[in-house]
Amino acid sequence: MSDAKKLVEVKAPMSGIFYRRPSPDEPAYVAVGDSVKKKQILALLETMKVFQKVKSPVSGRIVEILVENETPLKDEDVMFVIEVS
Amino acid sequence: MFSKVLVANRGEIALRIIRACREMGVRTVAVYSEADAQSLHRKLADEAICIGPPMSAKSYLNIERLIQTALETHAEAVHPGYGYLAENESFARACEKAGVCFIGPSPRNLRLAGDKIAAKKLMKAAGIPVIPSSEDGVGDVEAAGLLCQKIGFPVVIKAAGGGGGRGIRACENNSDLLEEFPVARLEARTAFGNDEVYIEKLIEKPRHIEFQILGDHHGNIIHLGERECTIQRRYQKLIEESPSPFLTASLREAMGKAAVHAMRALDYVNAGTVEFLVDSEGRFYFMEINSRIQVEHPVTELTTGIDLVKAQIRIASGEALGYTSQDIQRRGWAIECRINAEDPDNGFFPSPGKVETYHAPGGFGVRLDTHLYKGYDLPIFYDSLIAKLITYDLTREGAVRVMKRALQEFRIAPVKTTIPFYLQIMDDPDFIQGRFDTGYVKKFLPDETDDDDVE
C-alpha cells in the first residue's frame, strides 16, 4: 500500500509573465522530477518590468509545471505542483 | 517638413508625439502590440498598425518590423520617444539605411553617449569636471580593490552600458566591494548585454541637476536651462522641477556653459540632456548624456514656452533652431510628479489592472500627460508610469500649492498609485524649503535598501 502523497500547488501571487530561466541563454531553474528545497527559486514573475522570485513553499519534488515559459499569468494561476517530501 | 511620422513607442510619450504632430499638420502612424489594442495612442493617431505580440522584445523593440511598417505606410520619419529604441544606435542606422529619418541624435551621438566610459573620457578631454573614477572598465575584483585604495571609499560600481539609473551599486568599504563587484557584473550582463563595469567615487549627498540641450544640423547648440531631478527612489526619478531651488545665478551660468561645451564636443544634434551631480559645496561633475527626449521634458517646456517635441521634429527635418540660449526667456516655476501604478504601502510593487474610477485634475497651472482613461486595462507587460502631472506658477511655493491641489483632485482606483506618496512630500517642510539630496525619500521609507531585488 502506497503512502498518501501530499501535493502542494504553487500559485502566482499576482499577474505577471512567467519565466522558467534567469536569462534566455541559461538553463531552467527547475524541471519536472527535480528535488527542490524550501525557498529554492523555481521561476521569475515579471510585472510591469519588476521581477519577483517565485520560491518553493516546501521541500519536495516537482511533479508538474503547468505553464509555458514566457506566458502571461493571472494571480492565483497554478505554476507548479510539488510533492512534499 | 515631413508629411507623415511613425511613432515607435506607446503610453503617454506616444500621445505626446501624436499631439505635437497633429498641431504641426503632420500625419501620424501609431504602432501597437496585441496587448495595446485598446490604448489611446492607437486611437488618436491617423493610422495604427499592430506590430506583434505583447512582449516588448517582439513588438516595440522589433527593429525589422518597425522599419517595414514605416516603409509600408510611407512614413518619412520615425520618432522613438524615450526608452525602447530611442538610444539604440542599430535602430538609428537601420532607419538611415531604409531612407527613413530618425528623429533624434546621429548614430555616432548615440554610440558615444551610450558608452559611459567613452563619454566620460571625452568630457574629461574637453575640460568638463568629471567624478574621480577608473580610466577604463575594471576587469576583476583585485583591480577594483586597488583602485578604491587610490580614490577612497565610498564608491559606486556602474555598468559601462548602463543608464537610466540601472546597474548601479554603492560600496562603503572593501567587504561591500567583494560582495557587490561580481553581482554588478552579472547584473550588467543580464540588463545591458555587456558586463563591463567601472568604479567611481561616490559623491555624498549630491543633487542631480541636468541641462536641456537642443542642437540643429547647422551647428547651433543651445541650452534651455536646468531641471532639478534630485528626488529619486532607487535611482529612478520621482519629482523634477525647473528651475532648481539650489542653483545660484553664477552656478547656473557655469553649468549651462559646460553643458553646451560638452555637447559641442560630441557634435550633438537634436534634443539631449547633460546630467550633472552637484555636491553640497556647489561643485558640479559631469555624469552622463541622455541622447533622447526625457520623461521630465515638460518642466522645461512650461518655463521656456518651447515645445521640445516639435523642436525635435523641426530639427530632424533640417530646420535651423532660429533662437539662441540668450533668446530663451525663462519664467516661473514648473514641477512634475511621475505617477506610477505602484503601491507605496507595499514596497512600491506594481499594480496593474482595470481603471474603474478615473478623474483627472484640471484648472489653472495644471498639465497632465497620460494615456489613462476610465475602463483602461493596464497591461502587465509595460512600465508602471501612468501619468505625468505637471504644475506651474510664477513661484515655487505657488507651483507646490497647485501640485498639492491637483494631486488631491486626481482619482484613480482600484489600481494603486503613488499619488498618496506625493501628497506626503508636498506637505513636507524640507521639500517645501527645497532642502533635499538624492537620499531624500529615505526619510519616508526607512526600511528600504537601494537594490532592486524583490523576494
Average pLDDT for B4-18 = 98
What is the reported pLDDT for A1? Answer: 47
What is the reported pLDDT for A62? Answer: 97
Nearest to B370 by CA among B44, B98, B101: B44
CATH code, domain carrying A71: 2.40.50.100
Contact check, Cβ <8 Å, B455/A53: yes
DSSP line for B286-341: EEEEE-S--TTHHHHHHHH---HHHHHHHHHTT------GGG----SEEEEEEEES
Half-sphere CA count of A6, side-chain side, radius 13 A: 5
Contact check, Cβ <8 Å, B384/A48: yes
Q: What are B423's three cell numbers? A: 501628497
- For residue B275, name the pLDDT band (cuts at 50, 70, 90): very high
Which contiguous run of DSSP H or E holds residue B408? helix B396-409
What is the reported pLDDT for B452? Answer: 45
Look-up: residue for cell 510628479?
B337
Q: Does residue B39 or residue B453 have the better pLDDT?
A: B39
Q: Which domains does chain B have, with CATH numbers?
A: 4-103 (3.40.50.20), 132-201 (3.30.1490.20), 207-443 (3.30.470.20)
| Alpha-carbon span B245 to B430, nearest angstrom | 12
Average pLDDT for B38-43 = 98
Q: What are B128's three cell numbers? A: 568638463
List the single range of A2-16, B117-131, B172-186, B440-454 with lowest mean pLDDT: B440-454
- Is the pLDDT at B442 greater than 70, yes or no? yes
Q: What angle do CA B9, B417, B44 make, to 5 degrees?
A: 30
Count how many pairs of residues, chain A against chain B, have C-beta atoms within 8 Å. Answer: 43
What is the reported pLDDT for B164? Answer: 64
pLDDT tens readout for residues B115-132: 988 999 999 999 999 999
Are residues B96 and B102 in contact, defined by beta-carbon separation less than 8 angstroms? yes
Is B264 tagged catalytic? no
Residues of B at the A interface (Cβ-Cβ below 8 Å)?
Answer: 54-55, 190, 341, 349-350, 352-353, 378, 380-384, 453-455
Residues of chain B found within 8 Å of residue A15, distances taken between Cβ atoms = 352-353, 380
What is the reported pLDDT for B191? Answer: 75
Neighbour count for residue B37 (Cβ, 10 Å): 11
Average pLDDT for B95-100 = 98
Sign of CA dihedral B9, B10, B13, B16: positive
Q: Does residue B31 or residue B193 have the better pLDDT?
A: B31
Q: Residue B154: is the preceding peptide bond cis (ω within 30°)?
A: yes
Residues of chain B found within 8 Å of residue A51, distances taken between Cβ atoms = 454
What is the reported pLDDT for B227? Answer: 98
| Alpha-carbon span B270 to B80, nearest angstrom | 13
B-interface mutation test, from A45, A48, A53, most B Cβ less than 10 A away: A48
Q: What are B273's three cell numbers? A: 540632456
- Is the pLDDT at B451 greater than 70, yes or no? no
Nearest CA in chain B to A39: B455
Question: Is some CB atom of chain B closer than 8 A to the CB atom of A38?
Answer: no
- For residue A25, name the pLDDT band (cuts at 50, 70, 90): confident
Sign of CA dihedral B312, B314, B319, B322: negative
Average pLDDT, chain B: 94
Are residues B401 and B392 in contact, defined by beta-carbon separation less than 8 angstroms? no
Average pLDDT for B360-382 = 97
Cβ neighbours of residue B148 closer than 8 Å, sequence gap 6 or more? B155, B171, B174, B177, B199
Are residues B198 and B158 in contact, defined by beta-carbon separation less than 8 angstroms? yes
Query: Domain range holding A53?
Result: 7-84
What strands lie across the sheet with B4-7, from one edge to the other? B47-50, B27-32, B4-7, B77-79, B101-102
Examine residue A1 and state whether it is found in any structural domain, yes or no: no
Contact check, Cβ <8 Å, B383/A47: no
Q: What are B331's three cell numbers? A: 519664467
What is the reported pLDDT for B104? Answer: 98
| Alpha-carbon span B147 to B151, nearest angstrom | 6
Q: Provide, for chain B, the percentages of residues in helix, strand and coil under a 3-state DSSP scheme, each rounded to the nearest 5.
A: 35, 25, 35
- Three-state SS string over B35-63 comes to HHCCCHHHHHCCEEEECCCCCHHHCCCCH
Q: What angle do CA B118, B121, B122 make, to 5 degrees?
A: 85
Examine residue A66 and state whether it is found in any structural domain, yes or no: yes
Q: Specify the number of domains making up chain A.
A: 1
What is the reported pLDDT for B447? Answer: 79
Q: What are A49's three cell numbers? A: 518590468
Nearest to A51 among B353, B382, B454 (CB): B454
Average pLDDT for B142-164 = 88
What is the reported pLDDT for B234? Answer: 87
Are residues B41 and B14 in contact, defined by beta-carbon separation less than 8 angstroms? yes
Q: What angle do CA B402, B407, B411 make, to 5 degrees?
A: 145
What's CA B157's distance to the chain center, in Å? 21
| Alpha-carbon span B65 to B67, nearest angstrom | 6
Contact check, Cβ <8 Å, B352/A70: no
Look-up: residue for cell 504602432?
B31
- For residue B454, name the pLDDT band (cuts at 50, 70, 90): very low
Which contiguous run of DSSP H or E holds residue B266? none
Are residues B271 and B293 in contact, defined by beta-carbon separation less than 8 angstroms? yes
- For residue B225, name the pLDDT band (cuts at 50, 70, 90): very high
A-interface mutation test, from B36, B348, B380, most A Cβ less than 10 A away: B380
Average pLDDT for B151-162 = 89
Q: Residue B350: is the preceding peptide bond cis (ω within 30°)?
A: no
Q: How far is A11 from chain B (nearest CA, A)?
A: 15
Task: Provide the whole-model pTM.
Answer: 0.92
Complex confidence, ipTM: 0.86
Examine residue A44 and state whether it is found in any structural domain, yes or no: yes
Nearest to B341 by CA among B328, B353, B351: B351
pLDDT tens readout for residues B308-321: 999 999 999 999 99
- For residue B193, name the pLDDT band (cuts at 50, 70, 90): confident
What is the reported pLDDT for B455? Answer: 40
Q: Residue A16 forms beta bridges with which residues? A: A73
Examine residue A41 and state whether it is found in any structural domain, yes or no: yes
What is the reported pLDDT for B450? Answer: 60
Average pLDDT, chain A: 92
Percent of chain B with pLDDT over 70: 98
Examine residue A2 and state whether it is found in any structural domain, yes or no: no
- Is the pLDDT at B28 greater than 90, yes or no? yes
Average pLDDT for B377-403 = 97
Cβ neighbours of residue B328 closer than 8 Å, sequence gap 6 or more? B222, B224, B225, B304, B306
